[in-house]
Structure formats: structure tokens, C-alpha cells
């Protein structure tokens, strides 16, 4: 009997150590997120949402630990304090995510975003300033130039988005046929996510001579990811097994599509200097790509890591190409592709359906 009790206590202690190690990992992740956001001057809302999902599961896991056998009252009090602190952080992250989404469109610095959580009046001041700037711009638009003044030609638009994609390299058609073929025996929501990213890339237009590289290079990486999921181990078998226990899902819901749209929009804003043939800060871009790769989202222990590892490998290859490409334009493109892939992976971990698929895939 004593041996059974000792075995249970040993097992409980080992389980508690695992949970505390997870807390240490989460703390390190949060610290890296805060520091890297300050360094880069940018808060990624998809990364925030991914962290929120991981924190939610960690908190629940720690809550369960308070009822474990062999836990002393003092240890229970410490665990309860950890759970309380996690709950407080958990309540803040959605607010940070919403502010980061707005800031992603306006280009607000990361430090200013983080400060908004402490000073709500700052947001009101910013809104008032935006109205003032808009009014000033409107007044300026009505100014009549002096007689004889030469009218300046409007600057060339670096890129624009249209409603219908142009399948210039045949990649979209190729992937749509593949999805249709494999949907009969595989669950195709995860591949569809990457195909929709491919379609979104093709909705952007530019007259720049580098437009082809900007769209085709990441497009072919999306094709490689989809093919890997549908035709190679372990993705093909896992998607086949998933189709037997999960209803068919062939379309992204609005929240999933919104993440894809924001990710691709961020990518194009990152390659704008390439499209406009300006001087490029290659070292800065590669540094940003390294930071994004260092923060790659692996998720918790409940997820199928072999699928995530394939995306990680694509990020690593893109980063290596950014460092070794023959010209600065391609170096910047590959650096931004690294950031794009990392952002898309964070988006997968943040979306309930996609994250659930990775959970169900795990044997």
C-alpha cells in the first residue's frame, strides 16, 4: 500500500514539474514577445492571439494542478497565485490584439500600442489628432495653385489591390484542381488556408519590374506547402485519417480569411521599397526576419508538431535565401516571405478551427 502511495506521489511530482516547466517556457515566450516588439517597433496581432490561445490552455492546466494528490497547501497557494496572474494577462491580450490590428493598418509604433493599455485617454487624443489631420488635408486639397505653377505628376502607385486575382503563372488553377482531386479522401481545410493565401497574393498588381518575383516566389512556396500536405508523409495520411472523424470543410470563415488578408497586406507593405526601386536596408530586413523566425509559433504539446515543422522548414529556407540571394531585391523579398510565413503560422494557432485540426491530427 505504501508503495502505491509513493508511486502516486512520485507521478504527481513529475507532473507538477512538467507544468511548472511549461510556465517557465510561457514566461520566456512572453518576455521575448515584449522585447522583440519593442525592438522591431511592431506588434503582430496574430502573434498576440496565438499567445492568448497558449496562455488559456496553460492556465487551465495549472488550475487542474491545484487538485492533484500530494500537493501541499503552500504549493497550492503558489499555483493559485500563478493562475491569478495568468488570468490577468489573459484579460489584457485581447485588448492588445484589437489595438494591434488597428495599428497594423495605421503603422502605429509598438511602444505606443503597449502604452495604450495603460492610458486610455491616449486613444482619444489620437482619434482627435486624426480628425484634425484629415481636416487639414481636406483644406489643402482645395488650394488653387498659382498661375504658371507647374502641376506635379502624382507619384507612381507602388502596388494596388483588385477584386479578382490574375493567375499569371497558373499556380491557382493548379492548386484548385489538386484540392478538388484530394477532397474526396482528405480533409482539405488546412491546405485550403494556404491556397487562399496564394489567391490573395495574386490580387495585388504593380507595374514594377520586380512584381513577378514579389508574387511568384512566395506563390511557389505556398504551392510547395499544399503539395506537401496532400501528397507527402505525414500530412497525407493525417489528412486522410482526419476526414474520417471530421466533417468536410472547404472554405475559410471570415475571421480566418481576415487574417490571411492582413498577412498578405503586411507582406506587400514590406516589399514596397523593392517595387519602387528604392535603396534597400537589407541588413535591417534580414534582422527582422531573424526575429520573426525566433518567435515562430509551435503551440502547445497537444498539437501535431510534424505539420508545424514543415512550415518551420519553409521559414528556415526562406531565411537562408534572404542571407544568400544574389541581389538585394531578392534578399528583401525572401526576408519578407519569412515574416509572412511566421505570421500565417501564428494565425493558424490563433484560429479555433485550424488549431483544433492540429490537435485532432495528433495520434
pLDDT at residue 12 is higher than 70: no
Radius of gyration of the chain (CA): 24
Give 1's pLDDT tier (boundaries 50, 70, 90). very low
Judgement on whether residues 63 and 111 belong to the same structural domain of the protein: yes
C-beta of residue 171 within 8 angstroms of C-beta of residue 164 = no
With a CB cutoff of 8 Å and minimum separation 6, the contacts of 252 are 189, 192, 193, 196, 260
Sign of the dihedral through C-alpha 229, 200, 110, 348: negative
β-pair partners for 197: none
* Residue 99 within any structural domain of the chain: yes
Judgement on whether residues 71 and 195 belong to the same structural domain of the protein: no
Judgement on whether residues 117 and 164 belong to the same structural domain of the protein: no
Instruction: Give this prediction's pTM.
Output: 0.80
pLDDT, one tens digit per residue, over 156-191 is 789 999 999 999 999 999 999 999 999 999 999 999
Distance CA 19, CA 17 (A): 5
pLDDT, one tens digit per residue, over 28-76 is 888 888 888 877 788 888 888 988 888 888 888 788 877 777 778 888 8
User: Domain span at residue 265?
Assistant: 160-361
Q: Which residue has the higher pLDDT, 193 or 112?
A: 193
Q: Write down the pLDDT at residue 9.
A: 53
Distance CA 22, CA 13 (A): 14
Of 92, 121, 150, which closes a domain? 121
The tally of domains found in the chain comes to 2
Instruction: Supply the mean pLDDT for the chain.
Output: 84
**CA angle 198–194–30, rounded 5-degree value:** 115
Q: What is the three-class DSSP state of 204?
A: strand
Listed residue (102, 297, 119, 314) closest to 228, CA to CA: 314
Q: Write down the pLDDT at residue 159.
A: 95
Element housing 109 (H / E): none
Judgement on whether residues 232 and 284 belong to the same structural domain of the protein: yes
Amino acid at each position: 500500500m505504501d508503495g502505491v502511495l509513493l508511486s502516486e506521489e512520485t507521478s504527481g511530482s513529475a507532473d507538477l514539474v512538467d507544468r511548472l516547466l511549461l510556465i517557465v517556457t510561457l514566461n520566456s515566450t512572453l518576455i521575448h514577445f515584449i522585447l522583440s516588439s519593442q525592438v522591431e517597433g511592431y506588434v503582430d496581432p496574430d502573434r498576440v492571439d496565438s499567445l492568448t490561445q497558449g496562455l488559456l490552455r496553460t492556465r487551465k492546466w495549472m488550475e487542474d494542478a491545484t487538485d492533484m494528490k500530494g500537493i501541499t497547501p503552500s504549493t497550492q497557494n503558489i499555483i493559485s497565485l500563478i493562475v491569478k496572474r495568468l488570468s490577468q494577462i489573459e484579460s489584457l491580450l485581447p485588448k492588445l490584439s484589437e489595438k494591434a490590428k488597428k495599428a497594423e493598418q495605421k503603422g502605429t509604433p509598438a511602444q505606443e500600442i503597449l502604452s495604450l493599455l495603460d492610458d486610455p485617454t491616449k486613444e482619444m487624443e489620437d482619434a482627435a489628432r486624426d480628425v484634425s489631420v484629415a481636416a487639414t488635408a481636406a483644406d489643402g486639397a482645395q488650394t488653387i495653385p498659382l498661375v504658371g505653377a507647374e502641376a506635379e505628376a502624382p507619384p507612381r502607385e507602388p502596388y494596388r489591390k483588385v477584386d479578382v486575382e490574375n493567375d499569371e503563372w497558373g499556380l491557382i488553377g493548379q492548386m484548385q484542381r489538386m484540392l478538388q482531386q484530394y477532397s474526396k479522401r482528405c480533409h482539405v481545410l488546412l491546405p485550403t488556408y494556404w491556397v487562399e493565401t496564394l489567391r490573395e497574393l495574386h490580387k495585388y498588381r504593380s507595374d514594377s519590374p520586380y512584381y513577378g518575383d514579389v508574387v511568384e516566389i512566395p506563390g511557389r512556396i505556398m504551392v510547395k506547402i499544399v503539395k506537401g500536405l496532400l501528397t507527402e508523409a505525414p500530412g497525407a495520411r493525417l489528412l486522410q485519417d482526419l476526414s474520417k472523424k471530421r466533417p468536410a470543410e472547404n472554405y475559410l470563415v471570415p475571421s480566418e480569411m481576415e487574417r490571411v488578408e492582413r498577412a498578405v497586406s503586411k507582406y506587400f507593405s514590406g516589399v514596397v521599397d523593392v517595387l519602387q526601386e528604392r535603396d534597400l536596408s537589407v541588413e535591417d530586413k534580414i534582422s527582422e526576419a531573424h526575429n520573426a523566425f525566433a518567435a515562430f509559433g509551435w503551440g502547445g504539446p497537444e498539437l501535431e508538431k510534424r505539420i508545424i515543422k514543415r512550415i518551420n522548414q519553409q521559414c528556415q529556407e526562406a531565411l537562408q535565401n534572404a542571407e544568400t540571394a544574389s541581389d538585394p531585391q531578392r534578399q528583401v523579398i525572401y526576408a519578407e516571405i519569412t515574416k509572412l510565413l511566421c505570421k500565417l503560422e501564428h494565425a493558424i494557432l490563433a484560429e479555433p478551427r485550424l488549431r483544433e485540426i492540429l490537435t485532432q491530427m495528433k495520434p
